[in-house]
Amino acid sequence: MRILTYCDVEVGDIGRRLGTPEYSYYFVLESFHEALTKFAEVRRIHSSGEANAAWVESRARREDCMLLSFAPPNKTLQGVQCPTIPVFAWEYPNLPVTTDEESWRDDPRHDWPMVLLNCRAAITLSTHTKRAVRDSLGDAYPIEAVPTPLWEKFGLMRRRGVLAPDREAVDVCLNTQLVDSRLLGLSAEGLMTDHPDDGTPVNPLVDAILPAVPAAAQDGWLAALSGRPKNSEVVDASSRIGNFPVGAGWDIPPLYDVSTRLSGVVYTAVLTPSDGRKNWEDIITAFGWAFRDVEDATLVLKLGGPDRVKHHHQMLMLMSKLSPMKCRIVALHGYLDEADYHQLIGASTYYVNASLCEGLCMPLLEFLCCGVPAIAPDHTSMADYISPDFTFVVDSTPNLPTVWPHGDHQVYKTSRHQINWHSLMLAYRQSYLVAKSDVAAYTTMSESAMAAMQAYCATDAISKQLHQFLAARLHDFSIEEDRMDWTALAS
Amino acid sequence: MIILVHTAFHGGNVASNLGQPEYSYYFVLREFRPMLEQLGIVIDIHNPERDVDVIYRNCLKRGVPCVFLSFLPPNKTPLGLACPTIPVFAWEYPNIPDEDFSGKTRNDWRRVLKQVGAAITHSTFTVEAVKRAVDGAFPIIAAPAPLWDRLAAGNRPASPPGARSSRLRVDGMVIDSRLIDLSNYSKANELACAPEPLPLPRERCEGASELELDGIVYTSVFNPGDGRKNWVDMISAFCVAFARTADATLLLKLSHHDIREVVPKMLECMHKGDNFACRVVIVHGYLRQEDYECMVDATTYAVNTSHGEGQCLPLMEYMSSGKPAISPRHTAMLDYIDESCAFVVDSFLEPGTWPHDMRQAFRTLREHVRVDSLIHAYRSSYYVAKQEPDTYRAMAAAARESLRAYCSHAVVGPRLAGFLQAVIASDLQQAGSLSPL
pLDDT tens for each residue of A252-301: 999 999 999 999 999 999 999 998 999 999 999 999 999 999 999 999 99
Q: Indicate the residue type of B203.
A: E
Type and span of the H or E element at B204: none
The Cα–Cα gap between B205 and B179 comes to 10
Domain ranges of chain B: 2-146+410-432, 149-407
Q: What is the pLDDT of residue A484?
A: 76
Q: What is the pLDDT of residue B15?
A: 59
Q: A422 CB near a chain B CB, below 8 Å?
A: yes
CB contacts < 8 A, A to B, total 139
Q: Do A409 and B114 touch (CB under 8 A)?
A: no
Residues of B in contact with A420 (CB under 8 A): 348
Question: What is the percent of chain B where pLDDT is above 70?
Answer: 95
Q: Do B274 and A412 touch (CB under 8 A)?
A: yes
Q: A201 CB near a chain B CB, below 8 Å?
A: yes
Question: From edge to edge, which strands make up the β-sheet containing B342-345?
Answer: B205-213, B166-176, B279-286, B248-254, B216-222, B301-303, B325-328, B342-345
pLDDT reading at B261 higher than 90: yes
Distance of CA A59 to the CA centre of its chain: 40
Please name the member of B76, B362, B373 whose beta carbon is closest to the beta carbon of A201: B76
The Cα–Cα gap between B19 and A322 comes to 28
User: Residues of A139-156 as b/e, b for ≥16 C-beta within 10 angstroms?
Assistant: eebbbbbbbbbbbebbee
pLDDT reading at B273 higher than 70: yes
E-strand stretches of A141-264:
143-145, 169-180, 234-236, 256-263
E-strand stretches of A304-441:
328-333, 350-352, 374-377, 391-394, 396-402, 414-419
The Cα–Cα gap between A193 and B312 comes to 33
Task: Show Cβ contacts of residue A223 under 8 Å, excluding neighbours closer than 6 positions.
Answer: none
Which tops the pLDDT comparison, A364 or B427?
A364
Which of A318, A399, A413 is the best mutation test for B, with the most CBs of B within 10 A?
A399
Label residue B100 exposed, middle or buried (CB < 10 Å: 0-12, 13-18, 19+).
middle
pLDDT reading at B142 higher than 90: yes
pLDDT reading at B437 higher than 50: no
Please report, for residues A312, A330, B383, B388, the alpha-carbon distance to residue A257 in angstroms, rounded to integers and kept in the order given: 20, 15, 64, 70
Q: A187 CB near a chain B CB, below 8 Å?
A: no
pLDDT reading at B347 higher than 90: yes
For residue A172, the SS3 value is strand
| Domain B149-407 part of CATH 3.20.20.100 | no
From A284's Cα to the closest Cα of chain B, the distance in A is 11
Task: Show Cβ contacts of residue A434 under 8 Å, excluding neighbours closer than 6 positions.
Answer: A165, A441, A442, A445
The Cα–Cα gap between B123 and B144 comes to 7
Of B330, B328, B404, B411, the closest CA to residue B141 belongs to: B411
Please, what is the angle between helix B371-387 and helix B389-407, to 10°?
120
Q: Are residues A295 and A275 in contact, defined by beta-carbon separation less than 8 angstroms?
A: no
Q: A219 CB near a chain B CB, below 8 Å?
A: no
Please name the member of A216, A401, A422 whose beta carbon is closest to the beta carbon of B236: A401
Of A259, A226, A240, the closest CA to residue A436 belongs to: A226
Please name the member of A211, A216, A418 whose beta carbon is closest to the beta carbon of B133: A216
Please report, for residues A80, A481, A482, A485, A491, the alpha-carbon distance to residue A488 in angstroms, rounded to integers and kept in the order given: 22, 10, 10, 5, 5
The Cα–Cα gap between B180 and B172 comes to 17
Type and span of the H or E element at B200: none
pLDDT reading at B17 higher than 80: no
Of B185, B199, B233, B255, the closest CA to residue B18 belongs to: B255
pLDDT under 50: residue ranges of chain A: none
Please name the member of B104, B188, B370 whose beta carbon is closest to the beta carbon of A202: B104
Residues of A in contact with B110 (CB under 8 A): 213
- Listed by number, the residues of chain A in 337-356 with a beta carbon closer than 8 Å to a beta carbon of chain B are none
Q: A430 CB near a chain B CB, below 8 Å?
A: no
Of A116, A121, A126, the closest CA to residue A93 belongs to: A126
pLDDT digits (tens, 9 = 90+) for B63-119: 999 999 999 999 999 999 999 999 999 999 999 999 999 889 999 999 999 999 999
Q: A426 CB near a chain B CB, below 8 Å?
A: no
pLDDT digits (tens, 9 = 90+) for B186-221: 999 999 999 999 999 999 999 999 999 999 999 999
Which of B72, B76, B95, B110 is the best mutation test for A, with the most CBs of A within 10 A?
B110
In this structure, the dihedral spanned by the alpha carbons of residues A360, A363, A364 and A367, taken in order and rounded to 10 degrees, is: 150
Output the CA angle A158-A160-A162, nearest 5 degrees.
75
Confidence of residue B157 (pLDDT cuts 50, 70, 90): low
From B239's Cα to the closest Cα of chain A, the distance in A is 10
pLDDT reading at B435 higher than 50: no
Confidence of residue B436 (pLDDT cuts 50, 70, 90): very low
For residue A123, how many C-alpha atoms fall within 13 Å in the half-sphere facing its CB?
25
The Cα–Cα gap between A29 and A69 comes to 9
Type and span of the H or E element at A225: none
Of B137, B84, B116, B140, the closest CA to residue B431 belongs to: B84
Domain A2-146+458-490, what architecture?
3-Layer(aba) Sandwich (3.40)
Q: Do B111 and A395 touch (CB under 8 A)?
A: no
Please name the member of B76, B188, B351 whose beta carbon is closest to the beta carbon of A410: B188
Q: What is the pLDDT of residue B256?
A: 77
Q: What is the pLDDT of residue A482?
A: 79
Q: A207 CB near a chain B CB, below 8 Å?
A: yes
Q: How many residues does chain A have?
A: 491
A412: closest chain B residue by CA: B272
For residue A191, the SS3 value is helix
Q: Among 3.40.50, 3.40.462, 1.10.3470, 3.30.1690, what is the CATH number of B2-146+410-432?
A: 3.40.50
A418: closest chain B residue by CA: B370
Q: What is the DSSP letter of B88?
A: B
Q: What is the pLDDT of residue B155?
A: 62
Output the CA angle A9-A10-A11, nearest 5 degrees.
125
Which of A202, A213, A292 is the best mutation test for B, with the most CBs of B within 10 A?
A213
Q: Do B362 and A212 touch (CB under 8 A)?
A: no
The Cα–Cα gap between B88 and B420 comes to 12
The Cα–Cα gap between B98 and B109 comes to 6
Residues of B in contact with A412 (CB under 8 A): 236, 240, 272-274
Please report, for residues A188, A271, B214, B284, the alpha-carbon distance to residue B298 in angstroms, rounded to integers and kept in the order given: 48, 50, 8, 17
Q: Are residues A93 and A414 in contact, defined by beta-carbon separation less than 8 angstroms?
A: yes
pTM of the model: 0.95
From B233's Cα to the closest Cα of chain A, the distance in A is 9
For residue A428, the SS3 value is helix
The Cα–Cα gap between A116 and A141 comes to 9
Which tops the pLDDT comparison, B330 or A20?
B330
The Cα–Cα gap between A470 and A67 comes to 11
Residues of B in contact with A322 (CB under 8 A): 361-362
Q: Among 1.10.3470.10, 3.40.50.2000, 3.40.50.10470, 3.20.20.140, what is the CATH number of A153-457?
A: 3.40.50.2000
Q: What is the pLDDT of residue B258?
A: 85
Q: Do A198 and B102 touch (CB under 8 A)?
A: yes
The Cα–Cα gap between A276 and A266 comes to 24
Residue limits of CATH 3.40.50.2000 in chain A = 153-457
Q: A279 CB near a chain B CB, below 8 Å?
A: no
In this structure, the dihedral spanned by the alpha carbons of residues B318, B324, B328 and B333, taken in order and rounded to 10 degrees, is: 50
A404: closest chain B residue by CA: B272
Give the phi and the psi of residue A416 in degrees, each rounded to 5. Answer: -140, -165
Residues of A in contact with B273 (CB under 8 A): 401, 411-412
Which of B102, B108, B191 is the best mutation test for A, with the most CBs of A within 10 A?
B102
Task: Show Cβ contacts of residue A171 under 8 Å, excluding neighbours closer than 6 positions.
Answer: A234, A235, A236, A237, A238, A259, A260, A261, A262
Q: A489 CB near a chain B CB, below 8 Å?
A: no
